[in-house]
Amino acid sequence: MKKHTVPIKKCILCIFLSSCFLQQYAQEFKGGILGGITTSQIHGDGVGGFYKIGGTFGGFVQREFSPKIHGQFELRFSQKGSGDSYGSFKIHVGYVEMPVLVKYALPNDFTLFGGLGAGVRVYESLKTPGLKVKTNDFAPIDIPFYIGAEYHLSNALYFDVRSAYSLLPINYKYIHWCLYASIHVYISQ
């Protein structure tokens, strides 16, 4: 069953081409690739807890405005949704996300950041015991607020943890809350 393979392949190609294109800018920009995991929940669906695990991957471009202040643009695909602790109920929602972040460098290789983004829904489905169906219940656009921190493991590699919370309901009353953990690798420096 090739469910959702065409949109995901298009997302991968779009992210790859965008990251290659954005790296061609002047020396003050640097960029790379990222990959990691997500865990999320949907407030208002009657199920609590971060039981929906998914993946995230994409590319990023960064510009330094001062030694301590940086800006970063990302283009990533993320799997979000909701689920119960038994695995019998799952909402799967895939987004192409475009976070725009402002970062503040601290001593000892730590950086704090925050920002806004836009997410475009690529697919969604619902799984319950004996039933798995495509749905169209959520808004096509998500506007999340991001806050997080990163730790630089080397000049070419850093670990990023963040929280994203929808500023607008994704379906009249539901709000998406997602936690991310990812590794970022600079391709150009």
Specify the 3-state DSSP secondary structure of 6: helix
Residue of 153, 151, 80 whose CA lies nearest to 113: 151
Residue of 54, 62, 60, 95 whose CA lies nearest to 75: 60
**Domain with residues 5-188, CATH architecture:** Beta Barrel (2.40)
Between CA 118 and CA 155 the distance in angstroms is: 29
Q: For residue range 103-116, list pLDDT tens digits in order.
A: 999 989 999 999 99
User: Could you tell me which residues are beta bridge partners of residue 181?
Assistant: 37, 161
Q: For residue range 137-159, list pLDDT tens digits in order.
A: 888 999 999 999 999 999 999 99
Give the per-residue pLDDT at 69: 96
pTM score, whole prediction: 0.80
Instruction: Write out the E strands in the chain.
Output: 29-43, 52-64, 69-83, 90-105, 110-128, 131-134, 141-142, 144-154, 157-166, 175-188
Q: For residue range 152-183, list pLDDT tens digits in order.
A: 999 999 999 999 999 988 777 788 899 999 99
Between CA 160 and CA 48 the distance in angstroms is: 25
Residue of 65, 68, 70 whose CA lies nearest to 105: 68
Cα radius of gyration rounded to whole Å, the chain: 17
Tokens, residue 68: 């301590």
Which of 23-27, 54-58, 175-179, 180-184 has the weakest average pLDDT?
23-27
Tokens, residue 84: 């119960």
More confident residue, 85 or 8: 85
